Amino acid sequence: MSLYLSSGAAAGKVRVQVRAVREDPGSAVADAVVDLASLGGPGAGWVEVPLSAFVSPGSRYWLFAQATTAGDQPVVWYGTRGDTAGGPEGARYD
């Protein structure tokens, strides 16, 4: 799975989960952590997140991403609420 991240932090972690229930971390069917320092420090770009999950067709899942950094440095990820021209239906991730 890929996320487009823009990070002002040189170090920290981004936890990414696929959840069956939006507000329940215990419902995660996939969980991964990305170390921001391993990405080379502040910057923006696509980040591969090593997620693997067994999901049920027709079920709804939520993508959850949360950054933890020293000094509350900003980390944001971008998505879209509508269709992306030429993108598959599964590309709607926000």
| Residue-level pLDDT, tens digit, the chain, 94 residues | 888 888 888 888 999 999 999 999 999 999 999 999 998 888 888 889 999 888 999 999 999 988 888 877 888 776 555 555 555 555 544 4
Q: What is the pLDDT of residue 94?
A: 43
For the chain, what are the domain ranges?
Answer: 2-81
Q: What is the pLDDT of residue 49?
A: 92
Q: What is the pLDDT of residue 25?
A: 94
The terminus-to-terminus CA distance of the chain in angstroms comes to 14
Q: What is the pLDDT of residue 76?
A: 77
Task: Please name the residues in contact with 61: beta carbons below 8 A apart, sequence gap of 6 or more.
Answer: 18, 19, 20, 29, 55
